[in-house]
Amino acid sequence: MSKLLRILALAGAAGLSLSASASAQSATETAVLAGGCFWGMEAVFEHVKGVRNVVSGYAGGASKDATYDKVSSERTGHAEAVRIEFDPRQVSYAQLLKIYFTVAHDPTQVNRQGPDSGPSYRSAIFPQNAAQRELAGKFITQLRGAGRPIATKIESGPFYRAEAYHQDFARKHPLHPYIMVNDEPKVARLKRAYPQYWKA
C-alpha cells in the first residue's frame, strides 16, 4: 500500500484538495463507504479526528433484504458498508477517501477482502451528493492512471443500519480472532501512516 500513499501524496498536483474546508457550511457531513467486512472499516474510521460517528450497515439493495443473513447469501445486491458522520472543518471528504484507499481496505481486490469473498465485500463508494461523486471519480481516475488496478466502483443506493451486535464490534471484542488478525493491523497502520489524523 506504500505506493498508493506516494500516489496520493501527489494529489495536490492533480487538483485534489486534501485539506479540511474552514468555510464548510454544515456542522457535519456524511460519507458511505464499502470495503469488506464493516467491522474493520468501522474500527479504522472511529480513530480519525473529526469523525463524530461510524455506523455499520448495508448499502444498495432493498430494505426488506437488509439483514446479515440475507446479505450474506450474496443475492441481495448489498455491500457491507459504513456510514461516517464527520465534521468537515476538521477532516475533509478527500482525507477520508485517502484513508479509505490506503488503510481501510485494499481497493485492488474484486469482490473480496482478506478471508471474505463475495459481492457484499466489494469495494464501492456511495456518494451522498454531486461533489462527493466528482471527487471520488477523480481519486479513482488518478489511481488507475498511475497504473493501479483499482476495483472500486461508484454506486448509488440507500444505507441501512446493521443489527445491534455488529455495531462497535471491534471495540467491544478486541480479542476476537478475526479482529486481531484482520482489523487491528489496519488500525495500527492508520496510526503509523497518518498520525495527523489519529485519535485514540
How many residues make up the chain in this entry? 200
Among the listed residues 159, 176, 145, 175, the one whose alpha carbon sits nearest the alpha carbon of residue 54:
159
The Cα 119–Cα 74 span in angstroms is 6
Cβ 171 vs Cβ 43: under 8 Å: yes
The Cα 53–Cα 125 span in angstroms is 18
Q: Which residues are catalytic?
A: 37
- Angle 184-193/38-45 helices, nearest 10 degrees? 30
Looking at residue 20, the DSSP 8-state letter turns out to be: P
